[in-house]
Amino acid sequence: MVHEFQYRAPSSRPELLALLQEHGTSAKVLAGGTDLLPNIRMGIAKPAYVVDCKRLPEADRLVFSPSEGLRIGHGVTISAILRDRTVRERFPLLAEAAHELASHQVRNRATVAGNVVNASPCSDMALPLLCLDAEAVLASVSGERTVSFREFFTGPKATVMKPGEFLAEIRVPAAAADRKGRYAKLKRVKGHDLGIVGVLLASAPDGLRAAVSSAAPTPVLVSGIDASLDAQAVDALVQKAIKPIDDVRCTAEYRRYMVGAFIRRLLPEVNR
Amino acid sequence: MANEPKSTFRNDARAKVSGRAQYADDIRLPGMAHAVPVYTRFVRAENLRVDASAARAAPGVLGVFTAADVPGQVRFGQIVRDYPMLAEGTIRCEGEVIALAVADTRRRALAAAALVVETADELPPVTDPQAALAAGAPVVRWGGDDNLANHGRVRRGDAAKVLASCDLVVEETFSTQAVEHAYMEPESAVAIPRPDGVLEIRGSMQHPFSTRRFVSALLGVSLAEVEVVDTTTGGGFGGKDDTAAIVCARAALAARKLGRPVKLTYDREWSFRESYKRHPYRLRYRVGFSKDGTARAAEIDMLCDSGAYTSVTPWVNWRSTAQCCGPYYVDAVRMDIRAAATNNVFTGAMRGFGAPQVNFAVEQVMDIAAERLGLSPLEIRRKNMVKQDGLTITGQRLDTHVVSLGQVMDTVVRDSGYEAKLARCTRGKARDGRLYGIGLAISYRGASLGAEGLDYCSAVVNVQSDGSVLLDAAIHENGQGAESVQMLILAEELGLPVERIRRQRSSTSRIPDGGTTVATRGTLMGGGAVAQAARELKRLMAETLADELGDPASIRFEDGRVGVPGEPSLSWEEAIARMYDRRVYPYAFGTFRAPPVSWDEHTGQGDAYFTYVYSCQAAEVSVDPATGKVSLLALWASHDVGRAINRPLTLGQAYGGMVQAAGMALMEDLAQAGGRIGNRNLDRYKIPRARDIPEMRCTLVENPDPNSPTGAKGIGEPAVELLAPAIANAVYNATGVRCRDLPIRLDPEDLK
């Protein structure tokens, strides 16, 4: 509340990238603000500059084409994902996870891009993006680079993004369309809550995929799982990949147990 | 029917739903300054030194005040004057405020607060109540030579001897957690130095008179020099006493020092950090039964965490003492409760006040004993429950009101279909992947303060020359609907539509101290005082107008008319005009004094309360064996409230209490470690939401109480004190796992 910052709202990408280049780590991009503003209020983030990215004309772009796949602009909200018919029909995993993210009010503000840039281990949207081989388009004054979400997260609240870089767009390849799966998220209350643990189980051409949140420093993907394995064997593979901790919400032991419980529950639904 | 009482009314509904109700933080005054608290960074430390020089030099700062600036008493409390309203010398918990930063804006006050420099010699905190009472533990209690903050007892017969001859002895240990009140509106106060020399306080609180005592102590001024004016309050649940009063006192200090209005509004984190919580208890029960299920003896030991300061711990403990066997008669009882001072957040009043903890233990002990003896949970309860004209464990004979424990239990058993559902409980064998169970609990609750304190309350009825009526009463509107109930009672007594009455905005300077708005006494005591004032007014009017209307004893006040039935009568307005013509003010002051109670603190024997509320609640649950998650399927309640004056609000309190109890049972848990609270906001401290709560049904039982002027008893606390054990019993019946600790957490491994 005490922290003061300069607010900028550029209306073009070059303008925005120039601001980020100029101010480096002292600038934070504002999309929905559902993570950034509480963090500023609690003194966790102290940016000198808050750069609002929502005025860029391409911010809300959400389009699908067989050649380019699904393009999710940096300003696309979680609610927009839920409202979009193409997403619901062709990329149901995104809608499945979006449904579980926070509350209606938060979903109206929060963006898909913000959810992954925040890089919380409990990110809901990271799980379908991992299962769908999605990529992040990172822009800076020196150009664009594309990073798979498999490499995107490096730790709690940490990503491969460098100072001056901006998550301009998320791309989901057309080849990933029509992948089906089920998401289970354990919460302390029904409705809006951070997950104690979340498991998304999905089918893909290379076998089953299990994406897990809140059970390691980053969201975790285990791919290429033989679809004929039983739940115990799938659980064993996933247990090797996760590294949960004890925290105010529950113990590491309970998290491990619940990952197994969810795999046992979801596997028959995904294999059906 | 004449005088059919209106039973649905809320005088503040329109203002609240339209956002026009004015809470303390909505108040804006010319020249008003803003204060913020500066918290210690320690949990336990000595030789505190506070350097505010940099903060005082910051932009916009009007003053930074510490204990050294206090003209009166720094320390105050309701029982022991141990709580430092501004820290001095020793830090005993992380909620202590070392300074108050005041600036022209809140933003600048916050900036200045960050510049206050604190140094002290840090010490390891004492956080375990058992360890705190062990010999050689560091003494953390203010002014004490040990950490024993309180010791209460019951001595009835020779419990140890009787236990030795019992057919069955159930021996169980339980624990309950610290719970945050989570009122919607955090603490807020505005203090205004008036030109007449009086300091006016408007703030969010439960107890204007208690607040006035804190303010007068801190400032070192008389009670008459402080006026606490009623302000819309967004919930209290027992939690807006000490801390809310201290927030007001700090604002008053700054206002007095600066000679201008000062606002001090808390955010949720400060409220969590500083405000007292429900006492966590550890309870050990040894209860002996004969084969037929008669409870013959009990040995009970309780230990509770009083935290860093005393607050009302002895009173909370006292209720646990008087009600230590739940609503059952046991012939031989030895009970001891000890409260330990620690460096945890202090604990104090919370809706239920020492009863929810005890009931959590007792009501599970009864189910455990029933199962071991091959009796039904209903049989064992019927056999042992307190009965009409029977005794309580404190030796009180229940012969002044209807003892309706059996009636409320039968009501819930009928409404819920308990017996048929009990037979369908899964007892650990999942059906269609789910475990299913139903459980119930019963309780009795001494209404009002009992032997805790002097119990009386007053009201003023002041009829204007046009017949409209002003009402004042010394019970405070916390959001529970107290004013509406008072107005309904007056309307019924005077035979007037409630629209003719206005509840005047009360203040501590306009009506005598009527005691605190706690202990389920609002309707009983405040409503009782209103009825007494109305009756006093009617007596005065009947005597004054007797020459015109006839025998004063026969004059009735009904349907807006005054007169002897069958004789010529006056309209209410004509009658009032006659009163003014005769130079007799239609004005009455009424007092309701609670009937006498008695208590011997060495034996824990006496007439603890002048009446009791009888309750039964049941819960139906489904448990997911894979996750251990408990879902509530349905909740039932029945309470004998004496008389429901405002039926929808009575039911609203019942349902609200059940939701609060469901939170205590299943999710709420203050994450304290090393004296620090890890979940200081509602994103981490979870309370139930609408989606967590199933259909609820409460059936009110009404046996008007002869000792209550209105027949009403109360509902505030009974509603919250027994759902947790009902849920625990339901979870046991679903899973076969007995949950002895709150909140209930099931290990899925135990459900395989």
The pLDDT tens digits of the residues spanning B253-267 come to 999 999 999 999 999
User: Which comes out higher in pLDDT, residue A132 or A247?
Assistant: A132
Q: Give start-end residues of each CATH 3.30.390.50 domain in chain A.
A: 181-271
Mean confidence (pLDDT) of chain B: 96
Q: Is B15 on the interface with A (CB under 8 A)?
A: no
Q: Are A190 and A237 in contact (CB under 8 A)?
A: no
Same domain, B574 and B685: no
Q: Look-up: residue for tokens 């990172």?
A: A138
Q: Are B671 and A248 a contacting pair at CB < 8 A?
A: yes
Counting the structural domains of chain B, the total is 3
- The whole-number average pLDDT for the span A98-120 is 95
Residue B706's CB is within 10 A of a number of other CB atoms, namely 13
Q: Look-up: residue for tokens 């002290």?
A: B120
Same domain, B488 and B635: no
Last residue of a domain, one of B560, B593, B626: B593
Looking at the predicted structure, is the pLDDT value of residue B212 above 60? yes
- Confidence grade of residue B360 (pLDDT, cut at 50, 70, 90): very high
Q: What is the 3-state secondary structure (H, E, C) of chain A?
A: CCCCCEEECCCCHHHHHHHHHHHHHHEEEECCCCCHHHHHHCCCCCCCEEEECCCCCCCCCEEEECCCEEEEECCCEHHHHHHCHHHHHHCHHHHHHHHHCCCHHHHHHCEHHHHHHCCCCCCCCHHHHHHCCCEEEEEECCEEEEEEHHHHEEECCEECCCCCCEEEEEEECHHHCCCCEEEEEECCCCCCCCCCEEEEEEEECCEEEEEEECCCCCCEEEEEECCCCCHHHHHHHHHHHCCCCCCCCCCHHHHHHHHHHHHHHHHHHHHC
Q: Is residue B506 part of a domain?
A: yes
d(CA B378, CA B374): 12
Q: Are A2 and B627 a contacting pair at CB < 8 A?
A: no
- The whole-number average pLDDT for the span B461-472 is 98
The predicted structure's pLDDT at residue B515: 87
Q: How far is CA A83 from CA A60, A78, A93, in A?
A: 13, 9, 14
Q: Is residue B277 part of a domain?
A: no
Read off the pTM. 0.92
The predicted structure's pLDDT at residue B5: 53
Which residues of A are less than 8 Å from B667 in CB distance?
188-189
d(CA B437, CA B447): 32
Same domain, B439 and B464: no
Cα-Cα end-to-end distance for chain A: 51
- List, for residues B276-316, the tens digit of each pLDDT value: 999 999 999 999 999 999 999 999 999 999 999 999 999 99
Which CATH number, 3.40.50.300, 3.30.830.10, 3.10.180.10, 3.30.465.10, labels domain A62-176?
3.30.465.10
Which CATH number, 3.30.70.1400, 3.20.20.220, 3.30.390.50, 3.40.440.10, labels domain A181-271?
3.30.390.50
Same domain, B236 and B92: yes
Which residue of chain A comes nearest to B433, CA vs CA? A265
The predicted structure's pLDDT at residue B1: 35
Give how far B43 is from chain A: nearest CA, Å.
Answer: 20
The predicted structure's pLDDT at residue B454: 84
DSSP state of B499: G
Which residues of A are less than 8 Å from B111 in CB distance?
2
Beta bridge partners of B600: B605
* Rg for chain A, CA atoms, rounded: 18
Its ipTM equals: 0.80
Q: Look-up: residue for tokens 């141990």?
A: B82
- State yes or no: cis peptide before B718, omega within 30 of 0: no
Q: How far is CA B654 from CA B636, B723, B725, in A?
A: 10, 11, 16
Q: Is B110 on the interface with A (CB under 8 A)?
A: yes
The contacts of residue B28 (CB under 8 Å, 6+ apart) are none
pLDDT over 70 percentage in chain B: 99
Chains A and B: how many Cβ contacts under 8 Å? 42
- List, for residues A1-55, the tens digit of each pLDDT value: 568 899 999 999 999 999 999 999 999 999 999 999 999 988 899 999 999 999 9
- List, for residues B396-449, the tens digit of each pLDDT value: 999 999 999 999 999 999 999 999 999 999 999 999 999 999 999 999 999 988
- The whole-number average pLDDT for the span A239-251 is 91
- Confidence grade of residue B2 (pLDDT, cut at 50, 70, 90): very low
Q: Are B345 and B379 in contact (CB under 8 A)?
A: no
Q: Give start-end residues of each CATH 3.30.465.10 domain in chain A.
A: 62-176
- List, for residues B124-144, the tens digit of each pLDDT value: 999 999 999 999 999 999 999
Last residue of a domain, one of B236, B265, B294: B265
Same domain, B571 and B493: yes
- The whole-number average pLDDT for the span B235-253 is 97
Name which of B487, B459, B478, B458 is nearest B520 in CA terms.
B478
d(CA A166, CA A156): 19
DSSP state of B526: I
Q: Is residue B161 part of a domain?
A: no
Same domain, B226 and B113: yes
Q: Is B565 on the interface with A (CB under 8 A)?
A: no
Same domain, B424 and B565: no
Which residues of B are less than 8 Å from A44 in CB distance?
none
Q: How far is CA B3 from CA B348, B524, B540, B545, B556, in A?
A: 42, 21, 21, 21, 11
Which residue of chain A comes nearest to B693, CA vs CA? A190
The predicted structure's pLDDT at residue B451: 80
Looking at the predicted structure, is the pLDDT value of residue B18 above 90? yes
Give how far A131 is from chain B: nearest CA, Å.
Answer: 25
Q: Is residue B150 part of a domain?
A: no
Residue B509's CB is within 10 A of a number of other CB atoms, namely 16
Same domain, B400 and B485: no
Q: Identify the domain containing residue B674 by its residue range.
A: 351-446+611-751
d(CA A181, CA A64): 20
- Confidence grade of residue B6 (pLDDT, cut at 50, 70, 90): low
Same domain, B391 and B479: no
The predicted structure's pLDDT at residue B448: 87
Looking at the predicted structure, is the pLDDT value of residue B3 above 50? no
d(CA B272, CA B683): 12
CATH topology of domain A6-52: 3.30.43
- List, for residues B74-119, the tens digit of each pLDDT value: 999 999 999 999 999 999 999 999 999 999 999 999 999 999 999 9
* Rg for chain B, CA atoms, rounded: 27
Q: For residue B567, what is the domain's CATH number?
A: 3.30.365.10
Same domain, B707 and B734: yes
Same domain, B233 and B92: yes
The predicted structure's pLDDT at residue B449: 86
Q: Give start-end residues of each CATH 3.30.43.10 domain in chain A.
A: 6-52
Name which of B571, B534, B532 is nearest B549 in CA terms.
B571
Looking at the predicted structure, is the pLDDT value of residue B4 above 60? no
Last residue of a domain, one of B237, B265, B293: B265
- The whole-number average pLDDT for the span B674-682 is 95
Nearest to A261 among B627, B687, B691 (CB): B627
User: Which comes out higher in pLDDT, residue B517 or A62?
Assistant: A62
Same domain, B467 and B421: no
